[in-house]
Homo-oligomer: A and B are copies of this chain.
Amino acid sequence: MEKIVEQTLLYDFYGELLTEHQKRVYEDVVFNDLSFSEAAEERGISRQGVHDLIKRCNRILQEYEEKLGLVEKFLMTQEKVKEIHSLAQEYRKTEDRKLIFKIEEISEEISHL
């Protein structure tokens, strides 16, 4: 997975567990593309402080995922839902009844994730 996509997902899921200060700086740098120096000036901390904060936040978010694995579970669900979506589209073209059984099967699988 691309680094920025991964960071976005981790932040979407666990970002609320960071402090307000951490969230502000993290968003400035990771999502609003401020440089370390710009973010440092903006928040009145040192450039090194910004660097350490980003590194620390990435580690915190990563650790939550290692413990809870909810991003992975979410991605697996989304993948299966996409499959259902394609199967339904496919069925409209082919009317192949096997596809309906497949949809039932995949929806079962999701309930057991």
Contacts and interface: CB of A to CB of B under 8 A. Distances in A.
Interface stretch (A1-9, A41-49, A100-108): A100-108
Quick one: which of A77, A81, A111 has the most chain B CB within 10 A? A81
A100 B104 contact: no
Contacts of A89: 104
Q: Is the interface of A mostly helix, strand, loop or mixed?
A: helix
A16 B14 CA distance: 14
B16 A67 contact: yes
B85 A92 contact: no
Nearest to A84: B107
A58 interface: no
B100 A88 contact: yes
